[in-house]
Amino acid sequence: MMQAVAAACLARGIPSTAIFLSLERNMACAAGLCGLCQFGPAFVCRDGPVFRHDRIGPFLAVSHL
């Protein structure tokens, strides 16, 4: 759903830098150590949970991330 909404925003001319996504992932350590919450190069517990689309957008299309 986030991917579809972000695509709709981009199609309406909203820049990728103005789209923010709030991610939820299972967590264990909550300190960036275990990698359970990793989404692409980002750790949701340490770096998020809110990310700008230009940072994580390319990873939304990757299944099993």
Where do contacts with ligand FES occur on this chain (CB under 6 A)?
Answer: 27-30, 32-37, 43, 45
Among residues 7 and 36, whose Cβ is nearest to ligand FES?
Answer: 36
Among residues 43 and 53, whose Cβ is nearest to ligand FES?
Answer: 43
Q: Output the CA–CA distances (angstroms, integers) from residue 17 to 3, 9, 14, 45, in the order listed.
A: 15, 11, 8, 21
CB of 44 to ligand FES, least distance (A): 6
User: From CA 41, how far away is CA 57, in angstroms rounded?
Assistant: 12
Among residues 10 and 27, whose Cβ is nearest to ligand FES?
Answer: 27
Total count of residues recorded for the chain: 65
